[in-house]
Structure 1
Amino acid sequence: MRFITENFKSIDEMIKVLDSRPKNQIMRNCNSSEKPERKPTWYGTESYAEASSLIRKGYTEILPDIKKQVKEQSKSYSNLITINKRVPTNAVIGYVPNIPNAIRNLPNSMITINKIPQKKKTISIIYSITGSCGESQDFFIKAGATLLTIIKLLESQGTSVELSVGFMGAMTINKSEAVFPIVKVKSYGQELDLQKLCFPIAHPSMFRRFGFKYLETCPDLKETLFALSYGAPIQDLDIIKKNLNCKNSSVVVLNSYWIRENGYDVKKIIEKLQDRRRS
């Protein structure tokens, strides 16, 4: 299989490149990225221009629902959160006196907090937001909300998360060519901004506008079968892992189908991610 991938450092870079490229020869007569909304809701936006505006400003329409789901699921799985307790110790210098020790004229008559240095745990998640034409908007939202909850809990446990989105995970029906562009949406140490991440993680237009636009303008596209149906979703994560050469245990690849297959179960998915990192 011929595997085409491209890495974008930010949403702004992704949009700038997509908007500057001409149509490729294969997709010259295709314009699904620009078509008006279907009924019932399929794109989630009326146009490519609206999608570009939403992704820059933040997708606020479903933000309350996402926040609610993240809050409820985080509360349900609060037992997964580990809080680093700092144990006070006696020392010569501290922030408050230890009265009994001071009365006895002991040198360690102050109380201080000694932090034990810990190696920072990291995990890089590559999330493929993809779905067949039969998948509803709710499919993307539910999977995205689950992933955001997982990230919140991982970071509450002291694991720093980097997040990238594969916004066009598709291959031809004969499996001769696949396309998987990636854009980074969260760096290590960066705060989890739900308003900023709602669109790239949970909006169908991330795939059906920007993913389609990438396919229409990708200069390396060779397979004419893409022009018939824009390909089929890559559901097999091993195909992505193999072609991205993901050998580092701190890098994991997920997609919306895998999250659904695991019942949107936050605890189960976190345990699987931790098992992968240990293996």
Structure 2
Amino acid sequence: MINSFIEKGANHYYECFGSLQELSEALNNRPYNKEFLRKMGGRIERLASNYSISDSSCTASFNEADRLMLEGDVERYNMIRNEQMRIDTGISGKKSNLVKSCCGSFPCVPIYLSGCPKNMYSKRKCPDKSRTVSIIVETQVNTRVEAKKIINAGAEILTAISILERNGIRINLFAANCSCSCKGGVRYNLAMAVKLKDAGSPIDKLSISYPIAHPSFLRRHFFRFTETCECSFMGKYSSNYGFTGRIERTENFVNAFCKNPVIITMENLITLDCGYKAIVNDVLAKSKKQG
């Protein structure tokens, strides 16, 4: 696991969390940013993470969203699993090779007749030549995007990871959100990342389902992150929560927790109708460059 860290400057604030548990603990225990709260008239109920309406976030409160993040979003997990089963049909990974041996599961008749002792075929596990690639999923999407499309995109991501790991590519998986604002010719950036999966661990689909396929990860957790981050420029941040940013523009931040990652933008995955094959191809190309 990675250690949580903060990088902040005059016009940027970046924070990375080693797990969903660390993210939850931080957001629940630290105070609101005083400058942000002042902009909202000091009324906590006006903060987006505390809205009681659930139309855009699909949850009734931050506490409900936090419970789903920590305990797992069973509803979306089941939807993603069903969609992934449909996508997965006919996909298999290369796990073993047939080799000639003195004992095995079935004979090779010509070799047996020649008198060679290695006249049986057996399956031998392929040597582990695995490479490690980091994937960052930018989870923000427009409020007009239907929940079904978000779920389908999440299924495509999990399918791609399953295929890659079955074929010897180990995946570090992160979820991230980024926002930005410009004032007086100066660009301000906020970014948050959290590790969802370590390369040495199997995929926990129930745990991953919430951050990659639930609108509340952006509209509850990232907004709460914005409301509580200890940055000095929040008074200059326009439109309260800023505008959608891109994590690749925060190169120093990204390089601090993973080198040369594949970045998947959820909104592009949906609007461009990119599937798991595009993700697999991007990761394979990245792994070849790494040698």
Name stretches of at least 5 consecutive residues in structure 2 with no aligned partner: 1-9, 41-46
Question: Are 1:3 and 2:19 an aligned pair?
Answer: no
Give the counterpart of 2:78 among 46, 59, 64.
Answer: 64
Alpha-carbon distance between aligned partners in 1 of 2:87 and 2:59, rounded to the nearest angstrom: 28
Superposed displacement of residue 165, structure 1? 0.8
Q: Structure 1 residues 15, 97: CA separation in 2 closer, same or farther (over 3 Å shift)?
A: closer
- CA deviations on 1:242-278 (whole Å, 9 max, x unpaired) are 65238944x2122212212431322233223333444
TM-score, normalization by structure 2: 0.79
Alpha-carbon distance between aligned partners in 2 of 1:233 and 1:140, rounded to the nearest angstrom: 17
Supply the AA of the counterpart residue of 1:264: C
Please name the residue that 2:3 is paired with.
none
Asked whether the 8 Å contact 1:173–1:232 carries over to 2, the reply is no
For residue 21 of structure 2, give the secondary structure of its aligned residue in structure 1: helix
- CA deviations on 1:65-94 (whole Å, 9 max, x unpaired) are 211211112226x2xx44234222235xx5
Alpha-carbon distance between aligned partners in 2 of 1:119 and 1:56, rounded to the nearest angstrom: 34
Q: Structure 1 residues 18, 112: CA separation in 2 closer, same or farther (over 3 Å shift)?
A: same
Please name the residue that 1:179 is paired with.
190
Supply the AA of the counterpart residue of 2:17: F
Asked whether the 8 Å contact 2:96–2:125 carries over to 1, the reply is no
Question: Are 1:131 and 2:144 an aligned pair?
Answer: no
Please name the residue that 1:233 is paired with.
244
Please name the residue that 1:258 is paired with.
268
Superposed displacement of residue 223, structure 1? 3.5
Q: Structure 1 residues 115, 70: CA separation in 2 closer, same or farther (over 3 Å shift)?
A: closer
RMSD of the TM alignment (CA)? 3.0
Superposed displacement of residue 57, structure 1? 1.4
Please name the residue that 2:129 is paired with.
119
Supply the AA of the counterpart residue of 2:231: D
Alpha-carbon distance between aligned partners in 2 of 1:97 and 1:141, rounded to the nearest angstrom: 44
Superposed displacement of residue 60, structure 1? 1.3
Name stretches of at least 5 consecutive residues in structure 1 with no aligned partner: none
Provide runs of 4+ in structure 1 moved above 6 Å.
96-105
Alpha-carbon distance between aligned partners in 2 of 1:203 and 1:97, rounded to the nearest angstrom: 49
Give the counterpart of 1:88 among 95, 99, 102.
Answer: 99
TM-score, normalization by structure 1: 0.82
Give the counterpart of 2:53 among 37, 46, 56.
Answer: 37
For residue 83 of structure 1, give the secondary structure of its aligned residue in structure 2: coil
Asked whether the 8 Å contact 1:132–1:232 carries over to 2, the reply is no
Q: Structure 1 residues 274, 115: CA separation in 2 closer, same or farther (over 3 Å shift)?
A: closer
Alpha-carbon distance between aligned partners in 2 of 1:36 and 1:144, rounded to the nearest angstrom: 26
Asked whether the 8 Å contact 1:26–1:227 carries over to 2, the reply is no
Alpha-carbon distance between aligned partners in 2 of 1:55 and 1:14, rounded to the nearest angstrom: 10
Asked whether the 8 Å contact 1:42–1:137 carries over to 2, the reply is no
For residue 142 of structure 1, give the secondary structure of its aligned residue in structure 2: helix
For residue 239 of structure 2, give the secondary structure of its aligned residue in structure 1: helix
Supply the AA of the counterpart residue of 2:254: L
For residue 122 of structure 1, give the secondary structure of its aligned residue in structure 2: strand
Q: Structure 1 residues 26, 62: CA separation in 2 closer, same or farther (over 3 Å shift)?
A: same
Superposed displacement of residue 221, structure 1? 4.4
Aligned length: 269
Asked whether the 8 Å contact 2:134–2:262 carries over to 1, the reply is yes
Superposed displacement of residue 36, structure 1? 0.6
Which moves more between the two structures, 2-11 or 101-110? Answer: 101-110
Give the counterpart of 1:15 among 24, 43, 46.
Answer: 24
Asked whether the 8 Å contact 1:132–1:233 carries over to 2, the reply is no
Q: Structure 1 residues 99, 181: CA separation in 2 closer, same or farther (over 3 Å shift)?
A: closer
For residue 176 of structure 1, give the secondary structure of its aligned residue in structure 2: strand
Alpha-carbon distance between aligned partners in 2 of 1:47 and 1:108, rounded to the nearest angstrom: 67
- CA deviations on 1:158-186 (whole Å, 9 max, x unpaired) are 211111111x3111144611111111111
Q: Structure 1 residues 217, 133: CA separation in 2 closer, same or farther (over 3 Å shift)?
A: same
